[in-house]
Amino acid sequence: MNKKIIIAGKIVSGAKQAAFFTQLDWVQEQCMQKLGFKPFPGTLNVEIQNETIMVIEALRQAEIPELEPPDSNFCSAKICPVTIDDLQAAIVIPEEEVSAHGKNIIEIISNVRLKDVLSLTNGDILSFKLSGIG
């Protein structure tokens, strides 16, 4: 995969389930270890265009970091580092069968509440660059 892929999408509301997941001890620890930050509670949800879905699907097969649960009560998820302006963040790509959203919604984690820091509201367009893929 190209290291300079830019993705853009529209900010949308989420399923309100990510805050629990992002605050689990093992998620916090693995994000710190693999991404260099502990995630803020929750995710930023971005609706992407159909032509971008194939990029996200390709990430499922890419050799990128993975959040590995300590037991089978939780699913694993790939995490692809991204940059938004100068902020570190990552796309979370859960196992397909457990995703709370359709394929056109991606979830982004960061150590800050991105909506606040970037002054975003639902409907705004966000662009970000994939990093850490080879």
Chain segment 53-82, per-residue pLDDT in tens: 888 888 888 889 999 999 888 888 999 999
CB 78 within 8 A of CB 62: yes
Indicate yes or no: pTM above 0.85. Answer: yes
Q: What is the pLDDT of residues 25-45, one digit of tens each?
A: 999 999 999 999 999 998 999
Closest-CA residue to 83 (of 27, 22, 126):
126
Domain limits of the chain?
Answer: 6-130
Question: Exposure of 48 by Cβ count < 10 A (0-12 exposed, 13-18 middle, 19+ buried)?
Answer: middle
Domain 6-130 class in CATH: mainly beta
